Amino acid sequence: MKSNQPIGIFDSGIGGLTVAKAVKDVLPNESIIYFGDTAHLPYGDKSTAAIQAYSVRIAELLLKQKCKVILIACNSASSAAYDLVTEYVGKKAKVFDVINPTVDFIREHYQDENVGLIGTKQTVSAGVYARKIAELKQNIQFKSLATPLLVPMIEEGIYDDDISRNIIGKYLNDPTLESIKSLILGCTHYPIIKEQIRTHYASLNKEVEIIDSAETVALTLKSFLEYNQLINKEKSPIERFLVSDFTESFEKTTKIFFNKEVDLELLSIWDELN
């Protein structure tokens, strides 16, 4: 691995740009190749086998671009395919998902606590967070809730009005999450509604800490690159944003997730990338 090689980031779509942004915020000089599998979006409702097949193929594309790191930004893909992608990639690159860094963060900061998680159906039913937190053997009560309306809601740009407040409130008031003291945002899209979630709990005078898995993985990646002297020192890092299906609405929505519009390049996951 060489320091000037890019970081490959992939997601089911453009929501993973929240993770790309978190990475850029702490590692501004890194080159990034982002792949959003918009042709197969959403992963949250797909079978494990389908997500595994897509993820391995995308990892192959990113390896051909000589990425030093492959970051699985999607929680659903992290749940379904992290082990397989890690095995496939071997020593050619370092693979990160968004779950392990978050579980490490919980191990360090939360011991006797009630921790909650919201995510897609796939992330919640796969139970990977639940299993890994149980393996910590700490006195943590873990509760998770699938919140499938949040992804389409945010993608429609509905995240700060009465409709979104009602939907967010309905989910967060679910009895499953009643006694939690911290909440993992287990989906690429949820950093966008972080403030709204905070406001919801503040309005109830409830103290619930929000754990943003995008930020957690970005900091873990930074430590890894520093420790292994893999921080890019060359000037003018590149940024490429590829999607497997293109519509103008995808391009417009990038602004919600990356804070600026980006030029999307179209590439089927079965094509080769130059």
Beta strands in the chain (DSSP E): 7-11, 32-36, 69-72, 94-96, 114-119, 141-146, 182-186, 209-212, 239-243, 264-266
Q: Is the peptide bond before 237 cis (omega within 30 degrees of 0)?
A: no
The 10 Å Cβ neighbour count of residue 37 is: 26
**Pick 7 or 154: Cβ nearer ligand DGL:** 154
Of the listed 7, 61, 74, 124, which one is catalytic?
74
d(CA 221, CA 216): 9
d(CA 253, CA 239): 18
Indicate the residue whose CB is closest to ligand DGL.
Answer: 44
**Pick 5 or 119: Cβ nearer ligand DGL:** 119
d(CA 70, CA 58): 10
The site for ligand DGL (CB under 6 A) is made up of 11-13, 15-16, 41-44, 74-76, 120, 123, 151, 187-189
CB of 190 to ligand DGL, least distance (A): 8
Structural Rg of the chain based on CA atoms: 18
Of the listed 70, 89, 145, 187, which one is catalytic?
187
**Pick 6 or 15: Cβ nearer ligand DGL:** 15
CB of 170 to ligand DGL, least distance (A): 19
**Pick 180 or 214: Cβ nearer ligand DGL:** 214
CB of 188 to ligand DGL, least distance (A): 4
| Catalytic residue flag (residue 67) | no
DSSP classification of residue 207: -
CB of 213 to ligand DGL, least distance (A): 9
CB of 139 to ligand DGL, least distance (A): 28
d(CA 250, CA 247): 5
List residues bridging with 64 in a β-sheet: none
**Pick 78 or 232: Cβ nearer ligand DGL:** 78
Residue 45 CA, chain-centre distance (Å), reads: 16
d(CA 173, CA 166): 10
* Residues labelled as active-site residues: 74, 187
